[in-house]
């Protein structure tokens, strides 16, 4: 089967062999094709780095869904990148618990240190930054996700350490879960 769709860069997109296998395995686990939408978008993002409109159309074709439905779902979830993220993608929660515990100050601190605001990518591609809604860890607010790592119970010092580690290429480790 050669389902291909042009990406925004003009290249035809299709699942590669590894992703296709994961896609087929996923199809077997869910009762309907519609239920496979979120994992299929995730697989596409893992392969391509971000999810373009063309990729959404490809997924719609593979799952017999309307492109508009796929687009609306992809837009809703901030875990899907709609354009190439920086090497370190910072997602700072701005919902109630994190707001009450000072995420506004942390946003300003992050902007100061990396030189960009929400929705932007640094010129060197090292950082991208966005504010997102609840990351599901309200008990450890304020919270920021850096790529796949949850950084919790944030303080100004912790944020500065995280940014420093990203710059130096040091691996970020998740701390054990739990409130302060």
Chain residues in the site for ligand FES (CB under 6 A): 93, 95-98, 134-138, 141, 143
CA distances (Å), origin 104, targets 101, 146, 147: 9, 17, 20
CB of 2 to ligand FES, least distance (A): 42
Nearer to ligand FES, 62 or 101 (CB): 101
The number of residues making up the chain comes to 180
Q: Which is nearer to ligand FES, 26 or 97 (CB)?
A: 97
Evaluate the CA torsion angle 164, 169, 175, 177 in order and state its sign. positive
For residue 78, the minimal CB distance to ligand FES (Å) is 12
Please, what is the minimum distance in Å from the beta carbon of residue 150 to ligand FES? 9
CB 91 within 8 Å of CB 135: yes
Q: Report the residue number, 7 or 95, with the smaller CB distance to ligand FES.
A: 95
At 52, list the tokens.
């373009």
| Alpha-helical runs (H) found in the chain | 17-29, 37-48, 53-63, 67-76, 96-100, 103-114, 156-168
Sheet with strand 120-121: strands edge to edge:
120-121, 127-132, 88-93, 144-146, 149-151
Shortest Å distance, C-beta 5 to ligand FES: 35
Find the shortest distance in angstroms from Cβ 25 to ligand FES: 31
Name which of 125 and 136 has its Cβ closer to ligand FES: 136
Comparing CB distances to ligand FES, the nearer of 68 and 96 is 96
């Amino acid at each position: 089967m050669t389902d291909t769709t042009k990406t925004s860069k003009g290249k035809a997109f299709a699942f590669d062999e590894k992703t296709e296998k994961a896609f087929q395995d996923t199809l077997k686990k869910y009762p309907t094709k519609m239920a496979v939408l979120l994992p299929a978008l995730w697989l596409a993002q893992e392969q391509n780095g971000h999810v373009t409109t063309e990729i959404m159309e490809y997924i719609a074709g593979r799952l017999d869904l309307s492109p508009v439905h796929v687009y609306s779902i992809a837009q809703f979830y901030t875990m899907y990148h709609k354009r190439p993220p920086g090497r370190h993608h910072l997602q700072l929660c701005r919902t109630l618990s994190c707001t009450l515990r000072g995420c506004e100050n942390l946003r300003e601190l992050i902007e100061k240190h990396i030189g960009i605001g929400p929705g932007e990518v640094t010129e060197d591609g090292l950082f991208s930054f966005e504010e997102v809604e609840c990351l599901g860890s309200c008990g450890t607010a304020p919270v920021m996700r850096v790529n796949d790592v949850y950084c919790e119970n944030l303080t100004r010092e912790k944020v500065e350490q995280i940014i420093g580690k990203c710059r130096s290429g040091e691996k970020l480790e998740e701390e054990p879960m739990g409130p302060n």
